[in-house]
């Protein structure tokens, strides 16, 4: 098993300390669960280098003023870490023998992905996760933001899923990333179409045509969605199209590292998957899907969002 989606900082924390002991603790917990390797994948938008390149991206589209102001505030709160220092710390962890790969979670920035790719090309990343956490300035899965959640009442669910599927398809087509993170995260707030199969097909087609892997993540169990990403119907479609998989917890805290790895293993084996995909310097390699060990249940109800 792998845990290929881990964050160093919760979204509620503005300061961004880089502590090697934290990485060692993540590796220790992962190892106790039978997880062989972890990927640190902090959000690109938390780094000052991304701010210089992408700050103000929400002004590009016809975004309502309330959402522009909210996104600007959210962005300002999170920016502060240095990408060079992050990369150096992860490489030092690996030099010391910790089973960690250097990654990043890259949100989709329409019209800016060439610039993003050029920035990240300068660093020795092993794996880049591609994700969609907002459409047209709306952070649809920011569960702790009242404005973001109120938008669900002002919009049709099918329209929201349409916009999300379009953005995910555009992201996949750029070739800027290696893995589609939490591919149906649009359901995080518990809002789903009555008949989701159309969107499952669109997401599975986007993944298959891009050549990217897709993560199977336990994070959805910690949200109002109440199930893993992707849903079983989407997982079956991805497997049928031969899409490769990683496994992930999307943890922002130590207690969630390798969360519900045994459940992810059961889901993958149920659709005939017996291999996972790992990465080195953005080159894929396969490894056997091995059954993990049980871990104590985390004490909190859900992880930090999004």
Q: What is the pLDDT of residues 29-83, one digit of tens each?
A: 999 999 999 999 999 999 999 999 999 999 977 889 999 999 999 999 999 999 9
Is the pLDDT at 301 greater than 50? The verdict is no
- What is the pTM for the complete model shown? 0.95
Q: Where are the domains of the chain?
A: 2-288
pLDDT tens for each residue of 268-300: 999 999 999 999 999 999 999 999 998 777 755
Q: What beta strand segments (E) does 177-268 contain?
A: 179-180, 213-217, 245-248
pLDDT tens for each residue of 103-146: 999 999 999 999 999 999 999 999 999 999 999 899 999 999 99
CATH code for the part of the protein at 2-288: 3.20.20.140
d(CA 12, CA 33): 27
3-class SS at 229?
Answer: strand
* pLDDT for position 225: 98
d(CA 99, CA 117): 26
pLDDT tens for each residue of 179-202: 999 999 999 999 999 999 999 999
Tokens at 208, concatenated: 């298959």
Provide the CB-side half-sphere exposure for 47 (13 A, CA): 22
């Amino acid at each position: 098993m792998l845990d290929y989606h881990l964050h160093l900082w919760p979204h509620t924390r503005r300061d961004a300390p880089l502590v090697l002991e934290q990485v060692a603790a993540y590796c220790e917990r992962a190892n106790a669960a039978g997880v062989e390797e972890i990927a640190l994948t902090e959000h690109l938008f938390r780094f000052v280098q991304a701010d210089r390149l992408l700050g103000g991206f929400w002004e590009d589209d016809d975004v309502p003023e309330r959402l522009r102001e909210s996104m600007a505030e959210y962005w300002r709160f999170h920016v502060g870490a240095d990408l060079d220092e992050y990369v150096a710390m992860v490489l030092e962890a690996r030099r010391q023998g910790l089973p960690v790969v250097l990654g990043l979670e890259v949100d989709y920035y329409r019209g800016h992905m060439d610039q993003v790719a050029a920035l990240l090309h300068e660093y020795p990343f092993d794996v880049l996760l591609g994700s969609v956490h907002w459409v047209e300035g709306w952070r649809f899965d920011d569960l702790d933001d009242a404005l973001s959640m109120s938008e669900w009442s002002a919009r049709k669910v099918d329209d929201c899923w349409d916009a999300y599927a379009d953005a995910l398809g555009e992201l996949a087509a750029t070739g800027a990333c290696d893995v589609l993170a939490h591919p149906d995260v649009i359901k995080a707030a518990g809002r789903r179409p009555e008949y989701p199969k159309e969107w499952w097909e669109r997401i599975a087609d986007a993944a298959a045509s891009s050549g990217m892997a897709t993560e199977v993540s336990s994070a959805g169990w910690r949200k109002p969605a109440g199930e893993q990403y992707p849903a079983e119907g989407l997982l079956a479609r991805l497997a049928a199209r031969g899409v490769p998989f990683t496994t992930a917890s999307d943890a922002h805290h130590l207690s969630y590292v390798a969360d519900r790895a045994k459940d992810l293993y059961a889901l993958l084996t149920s659709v005939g998957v017996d291999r996972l995909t790992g990465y080195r310097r953005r080159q894929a390699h396969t490894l056997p899907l091995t059954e993990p060990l049980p871990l104590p249940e985390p004490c909190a109800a859900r992880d930090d969002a999004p």
